[in-house]
Structures are given as structure tokens and as C-alpha cells.
Chains A and B, each alone.
Chain A
Amino acid sequence: MTRSPSSPGFWRSPLRGAWLTSALGVVLLGGITVLFVTGLVSYAAYNPNLSPVNDKTPDKGILGFYLFPWPTDPHWLYRLNQGLHVTLGITLIPVLLAKLWSVIPRLFALPPARSLAHALERISLLLLVGGALFEFVTGVLNIQLDYVFPGSFYTLHFYGAWVFFAAFVAHAVLKTPAALRNLRRLRDEEPSDLVSPRPDPPTVSRRGALWFVGGGSLLLFATTAGQSFDGLLRRTALLAPHGGADPGGGPSGFQINKTAAYAGIHAAETAEDAWRLVVTGRTGTVRLSRAQLARLPLHSAALPIACVEGWSTSDQWWRGVRLRDLAALVGYDDDPPDVLVESLQRRGAFRRAALRANQVADPRSLLALYVNGEDLSPDHGFPARIIVPAAPGVLNTKWVARMTFGDL
């Protein structure tokens, strides 16, 4: 019978037991809670209720109950939130794998169900394990631009998170009290179905196993976290998608999400004689060349680019026209409204994006023409791009063609 995985004697590791599973479980309880909250906050940062163009999950119903107008202060808010979400998620992968390893005998345990409640709990575990792996896998693939999953990342990762979270809460409520009891007991092992009845001689202590898992987390953290910083720190992110070197050098040599070539922007359409910014509002439409824009009052703001993929740049020095000054050009003198921004780019989920009135009104919110003292480079949005404090990168529309002010 020991040849069958449903027999307890099949599992030989002397490490398995209530204490190890509880320790890993408590780490995940805290870590996954932070992942879920930062994920929800990231969704709110898109201002999905402002306009359909900002919302990839318009059928969310009550799942958007908590949404709030996204603030512009502190200006590093999205950078912190998203860096935390992605870096912590990657760091937790070894803990998740170890946790699943520690309870694998239970997958095969017989009888399949001891009671109706137990049967339902096992079904719930499929949602828990499938959901956890689904969330981690879609996240890890998305930051590597490997869009092989069946649908839009936003839809899958958002609804998947809620399915997972439903099972996670039930699991946490059922298991946390016992897990805390096991940990308080410290060294004397509670009798548990996870303990092997005929263990192999140990090759590592339980403490050693925890160090091993922690070492895996530390290695992933150390080779990822640097992509939220510039210079030497970025170079420490040896395997992260936006680690290593910066693209090119000079004032525009900071990280790019999508290049002009990727977005299908041709130099002919951004040339001085071809490109016009079309601004529409209460009093009609104004068309401005880049030279005309450059003669409007220009202002500066030091703001980062922070991507949903978790990487970010330090503050760059942007210079351009305040969004609220553009609103004033078309009849909104003292009451800047929302704005719909449209890009020249032909594809991309956010070639149109909406900004809320509080974002337009912030004096640091610019239609930038220059960065770090020079013209924008084509890859950073020449002739003009949006830059708004604390906004997710995709809402800082590049290659802006049209801005429509008014309540959305």
C-alpha cells in the first residue's frame, strides 16, 4: 500500500508536519493579504469608474465597491504600491511552492470526504490552489510581456484574484487559529496527518528548510527589487525585465514601456508641420502646433514613471504646459474638468485614457514637451505627453493628439 500516494507511508520526508505548514501559512497569510490590497489599490489608480476607456473590467459590479477618486499625493504613491505588489509577489513564490509541497499528501488523502463540510472544503481547495497559481502565473508572465494567457491580463488577473480571495478567506478563517496554536507550541510537534509514519533519515533540519525557502525568496528579491530604482541599483536586478541597463544614454535614457516603433508612430506624423494638438472644451476647439505650445507658460515637475508591471524610474524633470492651463484655453478658467486624452498610437489598450478633474487641477500635471532639459525623445512621447503625479504609467499618455475637456 505504501506505493500509493494515498497511503501515509508513501510520503517520506521527515520535514512535513503541522509546524512547518503553519509557519509557511502564516507568512502567506500576511503576504497574500498585502498582494490583494495593493492589487485592489492598483485597480483604483486607473480611475475605472471615470470612463469606460479606463476600465478593462466594466462588468465588475459590486467588486468595485471600494473604488475612490485616485489622489495625486504623494506623487510616488503608485510607484510604491506597484513596486510592492510585484516585488512582494515574486518574493513569495518560494514560500507558496514550499507551502504546497508541505501539504501535498493531503491531495491524495482517502476517504475523499469525511463529511459534507469536508467535501466542500476540498472543492474550495481547488479554487485556492488553482487560484493562487493562476494569479502568480498570469502576473509573472505579464511582466515578461509573455501574453499567452487566454484573454486580457486585466480581466483575468482581476476576476481571478477575487475567485482566489474568496477561497483564501475561507481557508484563512478555518486554518489560522490552528496554525497560530501550532506555532505557539514551538518545538513539540502536534500529531498531524502530515507527519510521515516512516520517515527517511533527515538531510536537513526544519529550521534549515525554512532558511532554504527564505534564501530562495531573498535571491528572487535581490535580483528583482532594483528595477524600481535607477543607476547602480537597477543593475542589481539581474533577471527582472526592467533591470540591467537603461535604454540609450543622455537625458532620455530612462526606462520605456512601449517604444514609438512598437506603438506604430511614424516620424512624418509627429513632424512640426504635420502634428497639431487638438484641444476641445466648453468654448470650442483650439489647434496648436508644438511651437505654439512652447510659447505658452511652461512649468516644471519632478515625477516618476511607474508601470503596472512593477518597475519604475526615479523622478524625471519634466517641463511643459499645465493641464489646467489647457483647460482654461477652452473655457474652463477656474474649474478644470475631467479630460479624455487620445494618442496617435493605433493600437494598445490605453491609446485613449481619461483623467479626473483633481488630476487635471494639480499644478504638477503637465502636457510635457521636454524631459531632463531636452525635447522628449520619440520613445518617451514626442511631440507631447501627459505626466500626472501618482498616476499609473499607462495613463501618462504619449504622442498626444487630442484632448477633450468636460465632465466624462
Chain B
Amino acid sequence: MRRPLIPVGSPFQLLLLAASFALAGYAGVRLLADDWFGVAVWFVGAALLHDLVLLPLYAAADRAVVRGLGAAGHREWVRYVRVPAALSGLLLLVWFPLISGMVDRRYRLGTGLSPDGFLARWLLITAVLFGASALLLALRLRRATKQRPPAVH
């Protein structure tokens, strides 16, 4: 008997995935009913944009920080840059429409609130994050200097 070209795999997994695709298909035809192309672009585009653009970008930025500080002999400082930068970037990513001001008009007209503070507040939070990080690093360096045995001098 010839072996099939591709093995079939677990029958349980096949049945489970068949059921999953059937349900996804039932909802999917309804999801795609109005503007199938636009929705498909958003659905697949979200995955591609994340996997092939966002993730490589932040990974490359992180690697640049690690290399840069490593070259300067301060690899252990990485966290003091990485943590505030990532947290600030996370806030920008989530609240980009409000921070960038792209929904200003609708926001003001709809809610009766001022859209002006978001950018300023994000910048202030970013300043606090980097400032706190710098402070922690400074404290750590001071402690390290004090603990260093005098013989080193």
C-alpha cells in the first residue's frame, strides 16, 4: 500500500477544525454580506500588518537599543529605555485616533467635550515614564558607586 503524499493527521483535530470552519463560514458569509472586499482587507490586513509590519518594527527598534547600549558597554541599561518606550508606544497605539486629533471634530460635536487634552496628556505620561526610569537608573548607579570597594579607585 502506498503512503499518502501528505499524512492526514489526527482525525479528532480534523473533525474539530471542520466544525470550527463550518461555524466560521456561517458567521463569515454574514460578515462579508455588505462589503466583502473591504471586510476581507481589514480581516486579513490586520493580521498581515501586525505580523509583517508592527512586530518587525518594534523588534528592530528593540534590537537597535540592545545593540547600541551593548556597544557602549551598558547592556544592563536596556530595561530603562525599553520599558518606558514600550509603555508610551502602547498608549499611542491604542489611543491613536484621539491623540493624533484625527477625530477632533466628531468628538467635540458628539460628546461636548474638548478633544485638545489627549496629546498633551500622552506627552506628560511619556515624560513621567521616562523621568521615573531615569530616576531609577540614577539611583541604581549611585548605589553601585557607593557599594564599590575603595580598592577599585
Interfacial residues, chain A to chain B (CB-CB below 8 A): 57, 59-63, 90, 93-94, 97, 100-101, 104, 107, 113-121, 123-124, 126-127, 129-131, 133-134, 137-138, 140-141, 144-146, 149-151, 155-156, 159-160, 162-163, 165-167, 169-170, 173-174, 200-201, 203-204, 208, 212, 215-216, 219-220, 223, 238-242, 244-245, 247-248, 255-259, 261-262, 379
Contacts and interface: CB of A to CB of B under 8 A. Distances in A.
B149 interface: no
Contacts of B98: 144, 239, 241
A203 B90 contact: no
Given A131-B43, A247-B112, A163 B95 contact: no
Contacts of A138: 42
Contact of A94 (B34, B46, B90): B90
B65 to A, nearest CB: 9
A59 B39 CA distance: 17
Contacts of B114: 245
Contact of B111 (A173, A208, A259): A259
B125 A238 contact: yes
Given A159-B27, A166-B27, A170-B17, A134 B46 contact: yes
B16 A170 contact: yes
Nearest to A146: B97
B42 A220 contact: no
A203 B78 contact: yes
A163 B31 contact: yes
B27 to A, nearest CB: 3
B125 A223 contact: yes
Interface in B30-77: 30-31, 33-35, 38-39, 41-44, 46-47, 50-51, 55, 59, 66, 75-76
B55 A126 contact: no
Contact of A239 (B13, B34, B47, B99): B99
A244 B125 contact: no
Chain A contact surface mostly: helix
A92 B105 CA distance: 29
A59 B78 contact: no
A105 to B, nearest CB: 11
B110 A90 contact: no
A216 B86 CA distance: 8
B47 A204 contact: no
Contacts of A220: 90-91, 94
B23 A166 contact: yes
Given A130-B43, A151-B35, A163-B27, 12 more contacts: A57-B30, A93-B90, A94-B90, A115-B6, A129-B50, A134-B46, A146-B97, A163-B43, A166-B21, A244-B117, A256-B110, A261-B109
6 contacts: A101-B55, A115-B8, A137-B46, A140-B94, A150-B39, A219-B90
Contacts of A97: 90
Nearest to B69: A203
Contact of A151 (B38, B51, B59, B76): B38
